[in-house]
């Protein structure tokens, strides 16, 4: 699918609308943040990989036990994949997730001195990591903001709110980065997630009661 090109006038209109949306959401959600539980950057990495096609609630249930069993990076490096698969099975796509997490642990130890890397370019070389996951990890681990994390909530709501016409996450991210001030890139994801969960879920509901309903 080709990029949908917008006129400067249309981009300007979307910037204005995005600013109104952010201004409305910030008082509703004064402390937007990631819902995943973790105690260090590697645990954050693991939780983010597990969260693909899975609810944050389920991931937190799984990691509560997982992080007690696997306490250090070396525990993942030494783990048997079949055992690890059983430990994360309920998050779905467990074979692929197990393969990626255990492979990433080895690469992080051998290539990055045992520390989760700090740049988008480096993050994208690790198994199981795309731009969305990299944005989430970099922003929460290091305060490094190189883009906007586009998850299913952001895809659905940014389209619904008229901030993009694209369906591809990378193109949606590009659209949002053009109309949202960089200082709001990190929190924008969590503002939309919180808004979607509390006011505007994917299931049918009374949209007239949504705080953003009247924003044009």
pLDDT at 3 (0 to 100): 60
Residues 6+ apart with CB under 8 A from 74: 109
| pLDDT score at 4 | 64
CA quadruple 174, 179, 183, 184: dihedral positive or negative? negative
> What is the pLDDT tens value at each position of the chain, 216 positions in all?
556 677 888 899 999 999 999 999 999 999 999 999 999 999 999 999 999 999 999 999 999 999 999 999 999 999 999 999 999 999 999 999 999 999 999 999 999 999 999 999 999 999 999 999 999 999 999 999 999 999 999 999 999 999 999 999 999 999 999 999 999 999 999 999 999 999 999 899 888 888 998 887
Distance CA(146)–CA(160), nearest Å, equals 24
What pLDDT does 213 receive?
82
Question: Which pLDDT score is estimated for 6?
Answer: 76
How far is Cα 138 from Cα 147, in angstroms, rounded to an integer? 10
CB-based contacts of 98-106 (< 8 A; 24+ apart in sequence):
99/127, 100/49, 100/127, 100/128, 100/129, 101/45, 101/46, 101/49, 101/50, 101/76, 101/127, 101/128, 102/76, 102/77, 103/127, 104/45, 104/49, 104/128, 104/129, 105/42, 105/73, 105/76, 105/77, 106/77
Q: What is the pLDDT of residue 81?
A: 97
Taking the model in full, what pTM does it have? 0.93
Q: CB 16: neighbour CB atoms within 10 A?
A: 13
pLDDT digits (tens, 9 = 90+) for 98-130: 999 999 999 999 999 999 999 999 999 999 999
């Amino acid at each position: 699918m080709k990029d949908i090109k917008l006129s400067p006038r249309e981009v300007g209109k979307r910037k204005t609308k995005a600013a109104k949306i952010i201004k409305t959401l910030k008082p509703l959600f004064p402390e937007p943040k990631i819902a995943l539980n973790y105690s260090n950057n590697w645990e954050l990495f693991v939780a983010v990989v597990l969260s693909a096609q899975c609810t944050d609630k389920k991931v937190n249930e799984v990691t509560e036990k997982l992080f007690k069993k696997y306490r250090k990076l070396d525990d993942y490096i030494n783990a048997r994949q079949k055992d690890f698969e059983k430990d994360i099975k309920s998050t779905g796509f467990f074979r692929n997730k197990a393969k990626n997490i255990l492979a990433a642990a080895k690469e992080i130890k051998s290539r990055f001195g045992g520390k989760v890397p700090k740049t988008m370019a480096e993050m994208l070389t690790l198994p199981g990591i795309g731009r969305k996951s990299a944005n989430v990890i970099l922003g929460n681990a290091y305060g490094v903001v190189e883009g906007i994390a586009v998850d299913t909530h952001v895809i659905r709501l940014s389209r619904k709110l008229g901030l993009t016409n694209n369906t591809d996450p990378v193109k949606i991210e590009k659209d949002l980065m053009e109309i949202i001030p960089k200082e709001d890139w990190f929190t924008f994801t969590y503002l939309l997630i919180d808004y979607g969960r509390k006011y505007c879920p994917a299931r049918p509901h009374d949209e007239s009661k949504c705080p953003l309903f009247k924003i044009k």
